[in-house]
Structures are given as structure tokens and as C-alpha cells.
Structure 1
Amino acid sequence: MTTAIASKAIETPQEKLAAILDSHQPKSLLTISLNPVPVADHWCQDHDCELIHIQEQNPFQALEQVRRVDLAVIADQLEYMSQRDGESLIGLLRNLHTDSLVAVYQPHLAPEKLRWPHNGFLALGCREEGHFAQEGRELDIYSYDLDDYNFRRNWNNPRFWANPQNWGKYWW
């Protein structure tokens, strides 16, 4: 009797980012990175997507000129910002520029005093999409999507309401 063991192919950060782009299918994409993001460039070329790229140490002034986009990708940026500035950047993007964003973070590139704790992204409503470690390097991918960052609760429906006939009629 032989048993076949299914082996999962090792997913790279580039493949993960491409999968996220495929799942969102953005028509406009904003990248904030000190270096080019080749996956985003290729994806936009192949899918007729408008690409806006901000490549500045302090991206806040450049963001004033950017309109609303379908998806934002922050890569190779947060490592060189304080956590407070990084939180401000993510908050600004979520509140004014997009409903969905992806943060690619390499903790060991950041100086010790600028390094984010693991729960720093989770506290902003992000989900961990993947952790990649290879040859002493680490990379984490987090995502935020307004449509699903807050899960639906089983108890929040008319069945558990004191007066089910009034469900959805009144707002206090």
C-alpha cells in the first residue's frame, strides 16, 4: 500500500502579493516604496491598471496630490519611519485614499528603535497574510480591507433582538 503525500509548493512573497492583486483586481493601484515594486509594475502592465508610485522618504506631501485608488501597497517604506509616522500613513491611506491596502514589512531592515511589534499591524485592523523567512531575512505581509476587517457576529441579528419586529427600523 502506497500513500501519496501532497506537498505544498513554497509560496514566495512575490507570489503572495500577486495573488492579493489578483483577488482585488484593482483598476488603480498606488505604491508607496523607496524602491520599485516589480510585482505591482508587471501586474498593472498585464491588467490595464493605472499605477501611481510615490518614491519619497516622507510620502505625506506627495499623497496630497493623489486621488482615491482601488488598492494601495506600502513596501520598503515603513522600515524607515517611526511607528507613529507609519500608523499615520496607514490611517491616512485607509481614511482618504483607499478601502484596501497591503503592507510589506521587513522587520530586520528597520533600526531597533524603529522596529514595529508584531501586533502593531494587527492593532490597525490588518490581517497577517504571510510570514516569509529565508537566509536570515524575514518579511511579513499584512492586508487591510474595509469590507471584511470587522467580522460578522452571530448574535447581531433580529433573532437575538428584544423586539425583532423593530430590527433595522430605529437608530438611537
Structure 2
Amino acid sequence: MNTAMAQPMTETPQERLAAILDSHQPRSIVSVSLNPIPVVSQWCKDHDCELIEIQEQNPFKALEDIQRIDMAIVADQLEYMTHQEGEALMGLLRNLHTDSVVAVYQPALAPQKLRWPSNGFLALGCRQQGHFAQDGRSLDIYSYDLDDYNFQRNWNNPRFWANPENWGKYWW
């Protein structure tokens, strides 16, 4: 039996979020959360990273003044927005402000009518970075990164085309 599979996951959500930050090494972060995110604040202090915190129920107005940044983190926010507003927030961050978005979502905090469907983040192009459950509560971490969103397909090259000599010559 594989012992790595038999051992329970001991990583905490804070450690997972710090690992994501370590892997990206952003120089600027916008945090959209109703409450401060201590692990992000500490990481920014330790790594000389600019942190912009937006702690408003409706963050759209505050985002109008934000220029392009390296990473956006959304936590303790989507649980209190409609799914349509949440998608608009994630899309605005992803399409206008940054190439990398991390969402921390706790479904139990959201009223039933505001809960995201299980594939809601995946539909936005996010990948699940972690699922944490303890004492009947759960927390999910999703990330979107433009650099690895659209992976390279091995069939998309001249070798697999009917006329490889025409690769890159014509645009239909």
C-alpha cells in the first residue's frame, strides 16, 4: 500500500495559501475580503510585496481605481454575493486587473440561495488547489493562472495536419 496515500493531509489552508504565494512570488497583490487575511499580510511584509486591501461589501467601485497587479486574492467575499455578482467579480479581476486569481470559498457561510454550484469555479477556468474539512465546515481554494489555463495540446502542430507544409501560411 502506498504510505503517502494512507497519511492524512496535515497542511492547513493558511499553509496552502502561503505555498501558492511562494510559487508565484507576486510583487503586488489586491486582497478582496470583508476581513483581513493574516497570512497574506504577513507574506507581503516578509517579501516586500505591495498589498492593496479592499474590505467592502460591494468591491466593484474600489476596483475602478486599481491598476494592473500581479495577483488577486478573494476570500470571505463570494459567500455574501449572488453567484452572478461573484462571477462578475472574478471575471473583472481575471480579465482586467491580473493574470492570477486565488479564491478561498467556504460554502457553509453562504446562505443556500447564494451558494456556488460545485462546478462554478471550474466553469471560470479555475483549478482546485485544496479542499479542507474540519468539524463539519469546509473550505476550498481555487486558482486561475493565465500562464497555465490553456495547456499546450500535443496535436496542435504541423505533424498532425493534412498539409503540414501549409502550417502558419494561411489563416482561414
Per the shorter chain, which TM-score range? over 0.9
1:99-149 deviations in whole A, cap 9, x for unaligned?
Answer: 000000000000000000110000000000110001111000000001111
For 1:169 and 1:61, locate their aligned partners in 2 and report how far apart those are by CA, in whole Å: 46
With 5-14 and 97-106 compared, the bigger mean Cα shift is at 5-14
Q: 1:120: which partner in 2?
A: 120
Q: 2:139: which partner in 1?
A: 139
Structure 2 residue ranges without an equivalent (≥5): none
Amino acid at match of 2:88: S
Q: 1:129: which partner in 2?
A: 129
CA RMSD of aligned residues (A): 1.6
Q: 2:88: which partner in 1?
A: 88
SS of 1:151's equivalent in the other structure is coil
With 43-52 and 155-164 compared, the bigger mean Cα shift is at 155-164
For 1:103 and 1:116, locate their aligned partners in 2 and report how far apart those are by CA, in whole Å: 12
Q: Does 1:12 align with 2:12?
A: yes
For 2:170 and 2:149, locate their aligned partners in 1 and report how far apart those are by CA, in whole Å: 25
TM-score w.r.t. structure 1 length?
0.94
Structure 1 residue ranges without an equivalent (≥5): none
Greater helix share, structure number: 2
Amino acid at match of 1:109: L
Q: Does 1:149 align with 2:149?
A: yes
Q: 1:69: which partner in 2?
A: 69
SS of 1:11's equivalent in the other structure is coil
Q: 2:106: which partner in 1?
A: 106
Q: 1:57: which partner in 2?
A: 57
Amino acid at match of 1:116: W
How far the C-alpha of 1:8 sits from its partner, in A, is 6.0
For 1:9 and 1:102, locate their aligned partners in 2 and report how far apart those are by CA, in whole Å: 21
How far the C-alpha of 1:9 sits from its partner, in A, is 5.4
For 1:114 and 1:129, locate their aligned partners in 2 and report how far apart those are by CA, in whole Å: 22
TM-score w.r.t. structure 2 length?
0.94
How far the C-alpha of 1:166 sits from its partner, in A, is 2.3
For 1:136 and 1:169, locate their aligned partners in 2 and report how far apart those are by CA, in whole Å: 58
How far the C-alpha of 1:167 sits from its partner, in A, is 1.7
